[in-house]
């Protein structure tokens, strides 16, 4: 009888400790503290301020990635360097805004990195393109986390 009881406990434990394999990973964006983060204005430097909940700067790719609350990329800013400097938008530096239709790809402007220290980057950019819809973007990024 004792053997049946131990076998029952072993089988019960084995069956109840199994769980479903679920490869889906949910990433919850971490909002940036007040006074930090990424904000921008479309077409008018004095227009309505838009903000994004998350942004990171990759030193490996020299890229600022800005995402919306759902985790979709809003902005991608590719630079030729990571140091505090002014980067002219053109061949070596690019700004894309994927949050508008048609997609905004700047053909001129500048990105000014004012600080890149203590694993945080800050600066501004003015980006311009010809066409319809959004043709000018004015953005500020403050204390954006720097990742490898």
Q: What is the pLDDT of residues 67-122, one digit of tens each?
A: 999 999 999 999 999 999 999 999 899 999 999 988 999 999 999 999 999 999 99
- What CA–CA distances, in Å, run from 45 to 82, 96, 130, 138? 25, 18, 17, 6
Q: What percent of the chain has pLDDT over 70?
A: 77
* pLDDT reading at 138 higher than 80: yes
Of 74, 43, 46, whose CA–CA distance to 141 is shortest? 74
pLDDT band at 146 (very low <50, low <70, confident <90, very high): very high
73-78 and 136-147: which strand pairing? unpaired
| pTM for the structure as a whole | 0.76
CA atoms within 13 A on the CB side of 134: 20
Q: Of 17-31, 44-58, 112-126, which gets the smallest average pLDDT?
A: 17-31
* pLDDT reading at 2 higher than 70: no
Distance of alpha carbon 111 from alpha carbon 113, whole angstroms: 6
Q: What is the pLDDT of residue 27?
A: 42
- What are φ and ψ of residue 68, in 5° steps? -85, 180
**Contact (Cβ atoms closer than 8 angstroms) between residue 53 and residue 32:** yes
Distance of alpha carbon 110 from alpha carbon 101, whole angstroms: 22
7 vs 45, more confident: 45
Q: What is the pLDDT of residue 115?
A: 98
**Contact (Cβ atoms closer than 8 angstroms) between residue 32 and residue 52:** no
């Amino acid at each position: 009888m004792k053997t049946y009881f131990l076998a029952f406990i072993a089988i019960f434990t084995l069956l109840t400790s199994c769980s479903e394999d679920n490869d889906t990973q949910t990433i919850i964006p971490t909002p940036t503290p007040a006074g930090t983060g990424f904000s921008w204005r479309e077409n008018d430097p004095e227009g309505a301020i838009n903000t994004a909940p998350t942004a990171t700067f990759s030193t490996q790719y020299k890229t600022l990635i800005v995402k919306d609350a759902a985790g979709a990329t809003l902005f991608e800013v590719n630079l030729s360097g990571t140091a505090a400097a002014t980067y002219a938008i053109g061949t070596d530096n690019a700004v894309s805004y994927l949050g508008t239709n048609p997609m905004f790809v700047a053909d001129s402007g500048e990105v000014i990195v004012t600080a890149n220290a203590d694993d945080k980057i800050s600066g501004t950019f003015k980006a311009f393109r010809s066409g319809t819809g959004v043709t000018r973007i004015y953005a500020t990024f403050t204390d954006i986390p720097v990742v490898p």
